[in-house]
Structure 1
Amino acid sequence: MRPATGRIDNDMRAFLGALVLEEDDMDEIRFIAATGSLGSGVAEDWLTMALAHKPHFIAADAGTTDAGAFFLGSGKTAYTRSALKRDLEIVLQAAQKVKVPVLIGSSGTAGADVHVELMLELAGEIAAEHAMRLKVATIFSEQDKDYLTRLHGEERIRALYAAPEIDSGTFRRSTRVVGMMGVEPLQEALKENVDLILAGRCSDPALYAAMPIMLGFPEGLAWHAGKVAECGTQACTQPGRGVLCGTVRRDEFIIRACADSPCTPQSIAAHSLYENGDPYLHKEASGMLDLSQAQYFEAENQGVRVTGSLFAPAEQYTVKLEGAALAGYQSIVIGGVRDPYIIRQLDDWLGKIEQSTHASVAQLLGDQLKPGDYSLTFHIYGRNAIMGKLEPVAAVPPHEVGIVLEATAPTQEFATAIAKFARQPLLHQTIPEWRGSITGFACLHNPAEIERGPVWRFNLNHVAVPRTKAEMFRTRIQQVGATA
């Protein structure tokens, strides 16, 4: 890394030359956060205007676990292929105008190998269509199951808070497992003077911290700038269209919005506390970002200036693991109840429906399905569906409820059969207040049962302790484009 005196060592000169940086220009590193979620719609007009910021790189996060385990398990993406291509095309064209690299993290939502390969395919199409020749680094974060099993046997897999129990077979039962990279793989790729980095599962702030830290800027400021920028205009007073422009200096960083809505010290401070169990301490693979001394000030041109961000290196380098295991196949029934007599005894009524459904399964599928092989779940909307036991107004009876019955089984055929078994008692389960046959449940669809297909669950909340910082990630450098 460059020493704090401002002098550039020989190892960095080739990299800096590729960025067309002068030595006296190294008092700051500038970047553009093109979007907080690639595929959601990059604002091309705002991004074009932001090029006046003279960035040294452009970055965009492309994934999250917020979308659930489905995308890691299935290998699919949360956004359509055309939406991903459109956004990547806009970002690449902007970067080519100013000759700076683009960093994309958590490619294709979950950052598995299949997602990285899809983004590489899109980059190749874009390059060919626009006569670009791109040097691309793909960084793969999907983990070999035998490798993880060996680490587990060596007690190098450690549980985080509320982690599920795992054993030596957990990794082989997983459909996919990815490791969350920090700045180190990104920095190695940047040293290759690439035009585009397509990273697998990646720490969101690492996209923005990698280059400043590599060039000797304070780690605390670099990580904090990334923490603020990675969600794009979510850090503005009102999230909307636009981009964020960041500047990391020796004693501060500055964030400005080139967007429909501005940033303020309050909005930047609020976003600094976002998505973390501890508002001040944010764990990364290489250490801890400490915001307890951070201060937020108004800056010129509607910017926000931040000082005091610190970073404590970790005693041991760890990599967060995310795994998805197939939970089964699912069918659902959606409907509603408005009968006040049913609503007054809803739990008892649903309990009888559940018993009736289990009895049908035992009678008709008992030789193929045991009670532990499948699950039957009721989600009650209008009564505690969101907050559950934490609901503060649970004593207030609703006048109607929506009910989603969820049947999960080893095959789609079994799941649909169970949902069909449940439909009849949902429609006609009696209560003491009724005389004769009355229908108390209104199905939303016809047929009532909807096949959801395979469903996955997250099965890890652990970190790995690798032997080296590089062994869990694989980088491939290649040329793409019309003349590649």
Structure 2
Amino acid sequence: MEEVRILAASGMLGAGFSEKSFERGLSLRPHVIACDGGSTDGGPTSLGLGSGTHPTKSLKRDLRLMMKGRDRLKVPMIVGSCGTAGGDDGVKRVVDLVLEIAREEGMTFKLAVIRSEQDRDYLKQRYAENRISALRNAPPIDEKVFDRSLHIVGMMGPEPIIAALKEGADIILAGRASDTSLYAALPLLKGFAPGPIWHAAKTIECGASASVNRKRPDSMFAWIREDHFDVEPMDPDNHVSPQSVASHTLYENADPHLVVEPSGVLDTAEARYEQVTERAVRVYGSNFRYSDPYTIKLEGVELVGYQHVIIGGVRDPYIIRQLDSWLDAMKHKMGERVQEIFGGSVGEDDYSIHCRVYGRDGTMGKLEPNTETAKDVGLVFTVTAGDEATSGTIAKSFAHLAVHYPIPEWGGLITGMAFPYSPAEINRGAAYRFNLHHVVVPDTPYEMFPTTYLEVAA
């Protein structure tokens, strides 16, 4: 093969793409159609609940178009990080949709399902062998973290996907996977140079996001050749530039030149970007260095508790001038009230009340460089406790206390906060946090990712 042609349907399954753009991509005869299905961007809830970012109707719409395109061209189709987090529940949901579409459309194909949810005993063994290590800013862990975790996934590289391609899979649905691995798998299998492969994969992993006029999630196309790759958005009203392609290596990345994968590091420091047409860019000089040892990133979640949220607004200048001390005193007073309500059975370690101040530093917190408070601030209180009833009781009581909490300048009863909703407290249900930001060293790239095959008949 002189080149491998890849069609990235969109930046994330369920986010959508233009049918016209996708059809144009199909007309260029791709050797593979792929789409990333997930991310940790939305936080830990998707992994904790097994839920997804996008609704079922959106997922099914995108899957149907991709499957019909794949069926027409008879090329592989790959979706990674199924169900957003890539846990077993999310993978099952996407598998069920694919089988449902197959029945509706009368399709026949070989399906590969690659799981990424991890066995706790396996991870405990690796931990005991000192084969699990922390990434930067990772929380400290001990063996108990594996038992506390509700779900743990490993982020697979391209190797399990390549193995499924070798087995003749027409559609591959993978659990948590490196976004780029979906696009790197086929050209690596075909023996192309890893530098252009991984850089092209990084460029198209978010669909058309590396383009100049991105108006919506859409399709992107890449041509991977021996010493370079070309990339072009499929919307004829859009284009890429050397700057837009080069800058995408910084997206979700700490280093503008180095992109870390399970098997190594993409180095774009010597890459050269050329505008080859009005809409396409060609890239030379990308390098890839294989790493030893091979590592798999772990993502785990645990239950924090149950939460209620209270949203309020304050415009009183006297309160705003002493906002922090007012909030601190309010929370201290609520501590006394909790003791009264629960008769001492709920202590200060059994719940928390956290407040974000929008209009000052609500978005960036301690990183906010300008902390001048506006004349109008929004307050978002989060009440967390070990069970839903306790959280709700504290939230209801706190909302009433907060709305009338006094300041020294005013005598008598005041109303210092406005609530946009009634009731003021909103039940968020279960709340989760990530508890693993670590890598494990497996014996092989495959052992953590069992694969099953299914012959789907019309």
SS in 2 for 1:83: helix
* CA distance in 1 between partners of 2:289 and 2:212 (Å): 30
Q: Letter of the aligned partner of 2:100 in structure 1?
A: E
SS in 2 for 1:442: coil
SS in 2 for 1:205: helix
* CA distance in 2 between partners of 1:302 and 1:438 (Å): 62
Unmatched 5+ residue regions in structure 1? 1-25
What's the TM-score once normalised by structure 2's chain length?
A: 0.98
Shift of 1:110: 0.3
Q: Letter of the aligned partner of 1:148 in structure 2?
A: L
* CA distance in 1 between partners of 2:123 and 2:272 (Å): 41
| Residues 384, 391 of structure 2: 8 Å contact kept | yes
* CA distance in 2 between partners of 1:371 and 1:355 (Å): 10
Shift of 1:272: 1.9
* CA distance in 2 between partners of 1:410 and 1:423 (Å): 19
* CA distance in 2 between partners of 1:363 and 1:465 (Å): 52
Mapped pair 1:28 → 2:40: no
| Residues 60, 103 of structure 1: 8 Å contact kept | yes
Q: Which residue of 2 aligns with 1:289?
A: 266
SS in 1 for 2:406: coil
SS in 2 for 1:62: strand
SS in 1 for 2:412: coil
Q: Which residue of 1 aligns with 2:348?
A: 371
Of the three residues 429, 433, 447, the one matched with 1:453 is: 429
SS in 2 for 1:86: helix
Q: Which residue of 2 aligns with 1:332?
A: 309
| Residues 356, 422 of structure 1: 8 Å contact kept | no
Q: Which residue of 2 aligns with 1:418?
A: 394
Q: Letter of the aligned partner of 2:161 in structure 1?
A: L
| Residues 125, 481 of structure 1: 8 Å contact kept | no
* CA distance in 2 between partners of 1:304 and 1:230 (Å): 16
Q: Which residue of 1 aligns with 2:52?
A: 77
Shift of 1:424: 2.2
| Residues 352, 429 of structure 1: 8 Å contact kept | no
| Residues 77, 108 of structure 1: 8 Å contact kept | yes
| 1:120-160 per-position Cα deviation (integer Å, ceiling 9, x unaligned) | 11111111111101211000000011111111111111011
* CA distance in 1 between partners of 2:360 and 2:24 (Å): 48
Mapped pair 1:355 → 2:305: no
| 1:95-119 per-position Cα deviation (integer Å, ceiling 9, x unaligned) | 1111111010100100001111111
* CA distance in 1 between partners of 2:373 and 2:351 (Å): 31
Q: Which residue of 1 aligns with 2:370?
A: 393
* CA distance in 1 between partners of 2:245 and 2:294 (Å): 29
SS in 2 for 1:443: coil
| 1:440-476 per-position Cα deviation (integer Å, ceiling 9, x unaligned) | 1111111111110001100011001112221100100
Q: Which residue of 1 aligns with 2:420?
A: 444
SS in 2 for 1:149: helix
Mapped pair 1:253 → 2:229: yes
SS in 1 for 2:9: strand
Mapped pair 1:53 → 2:28: yes
Q: Which residue of 2 aligns with 1:120?
A: 95
| Residues 157, 464 of structure 1: 8 Å contact kept | yes
Q: How many residue pairs end up in the alignment?
A: 456
Of the three residues 248, 266, 290, the one matched with 1:313 is: 290
* CA distance in 2 between partners of 1:246 and 1:430 (Å): 63
Shift of 1:386: 1.4
Of the three residues 215, 227, 250, the one matched with 1:273 is: 250
Q: Which moved more, 1:48-57 or 1:199-208?
A: 48-57
SS in 2 for 1:452: strand
Q: Letter of the aligned partner of 2:295 in structure 1?
A: T
Of the three residues 296, 299, 322, the one matched with 1:345 is: 322
Alignment of 1:56-135 (within 5 A): 56-135=31-110
Shift of 1:41: 1.2
Of the three residues 222, 236, 254, the one matched with 2:197 is: 222
Q: Letter of the aligned partner of 2:391 in structure 1?
A: A
Of the three residues 328, 352, 359, the one matched with 1:382 is: 359
| Residues 37, 84 of structure 2: 8 Å contact kept | yes
Deviant stretches of 4+, over 6 Å: none
| Residues 124, 481 of structure 1: 8 Å contact kept | no
Q: Which residue of 2 aligns with 1:17?
A: none
Q: Letter of the aligned partner of 1:445 in structure 2?
A: Y
Shift of 1:301: 5.7
| 1:199-244 per-position Cα deviation (integer Å, ceiling 9, x unaligned) | 0000001111111111110111101100000101111102234311
* CA distance in 2 between partners of 1:468 and 1:244 (Å): 32
SS in 2 for 1:454: strand
Shift of 1:380: 0.8
RMSD: 1.1
Q: Letter of the aligned partner of 1:60 in structure 2?
A: C
Q: Which residue of 2 aligns with 1:16?
A: none
What's the TM-score once normalised by structure 1's chain length?
A: 0.92
* CA distance in 2 between partners of 1:295 and 1:449 (Å): 55
Identity of aligned residues (%): 46
* CA distance in 2 between partners of 1:388 and 1:166 (Å): 26
* CA distance in 2 between partners of 1:431 and 1:370 (Å): 27
Of the three residues 366, 375, 384, the one matched with 1:408 is: 384
Q: Which moved more, 1:28-37 or 1:472-481?
A: 472-481
Q: Which residue of 1 aligns with 2:17?
A: 42
| Residues 339, 345 of structure 2: 8 Å contact kept | no
Q: Which moved more, 1:419-428 or 1:195-204?
A: 419-428
Shift of 1:366: 4.5
Shift of 1:481: 4.0
| Residues 42, 90 of structure 1: 8 Å contact kept | no
Of the three residues 206, 210, 218, the one matched with 1:235 is: 210
| Residues 247, 256 of structure 2: 8 Å contact kept | no
